[in-house]
Amino acid sequence: MIVMKFGGSSVQDAVAIRRVASIVASRLAEQPLVVVSAMGGVTDGLVQVTEAAEQSELGLACEMLDGIREKHILASVEMLNSAEATAFALKLDARLAEATALVTEIAAQGSATAGQRSHLLTFGEVLSSELVVAAFNALGVPSAHADARKLIVTNARHPVASPLATATREKLMQAIPELLEQNLVPVLGGFIASSESGEVTTLGRGGSDYSAAIIGAALMAGRIEIWTDVSGILTTDPRICPNAQRIAEISFHEATELACFGAKVLHPATLLPAIEHDIPVAVLNSHKPNEAGTIIRAIASQGPSSFRAIAVKRNISVFNVHAPSHVESLRFLDDLFSLLRWHHLQSEIVAISGASASVAVEGGRELVKLTSELEALGEVDFQPEMAIICMVGEDIRGRVGIASEVFGILAAAGINIRMIAQGSSEISVSFVVEEKDAVKSVQQLHRQLFEQPSVTHSHATSAAPHKIAQA
């Protein structure tokens, strides 16, 4: 079996849901299970409903719930015949009655508990999954609703609960295989779950991808497909390089590294269950279902370049701090990182030598206020308006000459590098340049390393891989 997850924009209206039905129909031989997000905008809408209820604006909250009802009804009447649409409306109204009761409770209290807040947010996926089941059946894809709130078991933490793998697997195994055996497509809402004691929980915003991975791992799916509105993961930001190419395959490690440096890829935390069970994850475009997309898997096959992708993170500032020579380096670093932690600053890249350190953090000129505090540790030089560029590729591990190749390209373009770091996993090289040079840097690197890979990059020459880029 396979798991197919469709995000909010893929189920945002009747046109989108019809498209989803035809994509799923094309996969029936693989026994798909479908996970859907709330219709686009509905979860945000429910956040606003909660806020209105907390201000005891019950009328406004109910009006907003009505708007959400309309969105589902509108889509349903475009896809269902009148008997089917009536049956769906009855179900919808029963669900919305639960939501209204909850909203009324919150409004009476004047504030929502963390549990009530999570509970209210789950209605987006509850409603979308009911709508999608009705639509599938009307459009000739036999399917059955499975309530994710009864099948995904988590701890009771709000608003981001953690799944309990064994209990979840047991419940899914009781419910799903029998639906698949009857050739029905099980449809579940993503993002939503319950604690062991039955309290409704969520996996946190954007959690539907995570649901798909949890379900895929529990049922040992052959593949997890994440259907979005982009054609997979690209070699770099297409707004910077219009020639950015689709990455056919990328490893879990590479995807993780890219996400850390701001690339728009699936968040690797959400893929963890898939990684643990070595289940390939495909990122596909529901608007262009015939495009190949990107496969994320444990070991990805070689691409056209030694590097897999380039990520850029802007709005970076660098602090260079030099402690006086008598200061013990461990003590100095301890103080430095305590201070950053105190200000909730995460170090993106760190370079240390003895009792001096360069730290790149996210933020702009406003961080200058930290300078005076850091001066307690030593001499400080503050450099705002920087950007981090991160080059990722498993294939660079252990390769001689990779750094000189990258920095040679930048030197030839007259770009000054402010800071360099190689990830300890040796699958990435990151460096800091001035923000004004970021676009040019990425364009040069992409042009030379991705758009015209020389023969030396090709694995046809893998008999002598270490010769690469030594020139």
Does 159 participate in binding ligand ASP (rule CB under 6 A)?
no
- Among Mg ion, ligand ASP, none, the one that 190 touches (CB under a kind-dependent 5 to 8 A) is ligand ASP
Which of ligand ASP, Mg ion, none binds 43 (CB below 5-8 Å, type-dependent)?
Answer: ligand ASP
Which residues here bind Mg ion, judged by CB under 5 A? 7, 206
How would you class 88 by CB atoms within 10 Å of its CB: exposed for 0-12, middle for 13-18, buried for 19 or more? buried
Rank residues 177 and 206 by Cβ distance to Mg ion and give the closer one.
Answer: 206
| CB within 8 Å of 377: residues ≥ 6 apart | 321, 323, 327, 332, 335, 336, 339
If one asks whether residue 450 binds ligand ASP (CB under 6 A), the answer comes out as no
Question: Minimum CB separation from ligand ASP for residue 71, in Å?
Answer: 14
The contact pattern for ligand ASP, residues 52-91, with x = CB under 6 A and - = no contact, is: ----------------------------------------
- For residue 7, the minimal CB distance to Mg ion (Å) is 5
CA pair distance 365, 5, nearest whole angstrom: 41
What is d(CA 402, CA 408) in angstroms, rounded to the nearest whole number? 10
Q: Which does 262 bind (CB under 5 to 8 A by kind): ligand ASP, Mg ion, none?
A: none
Which is nearer to Mg ion, 7 or 378 (by Cβ)?
7
Between 191 and 332, whose beta carbon lies closer to ligand ASP? 191
CA distance 186 to 143: 6
339 CB-side CA count, 13 A: 20
Identity of the residue, 273 or 304, whose beta carbon is nearer to ligand ASP in the bound complex: 273
Instruction: Show the site string, 166-205: x = touches ligand ASP by CB under 6 A, - = not.
Output: ------------------------xx-------------x
Pair type for strands 428-434 and 379-392: antiparallel
The nearer residue to ligand ASP, 207 or 280, going by C-beta atoms, is: 207
Residue 312 DSSP symbol: E
Of 37 and 320, nearer to ligand ASP (C-beta) is 37
Residue 207 in the binding site for ligand ASP (CB under 6 A): yes
Question: Residue 341 and residue 368: Cα distance in Å, rounded?
Answer: 16
CA distance to 77, 88, 116, 134, per residue, from 83 (Å): 10, 9, 34, 11
Alpha helix stretches (DSSP H) within 55-122? 58-79, 82-109, 114-121
Closest CA to 22 of 293, 295, 282, 290: 290
- What are φ and ψ of residue 48, in 5° steps? -65, -35
**Residues in contact with ligand ASP, total (CB under 6 A)?**
12
Nearest residue (CB) to Mg ion, 7 versus 304: 7
Q: Out of Mg ion, ligand ASP, none, which partner does residue 207 contact, by CB within 5 to 8 A per kind?
A: ligand ASP
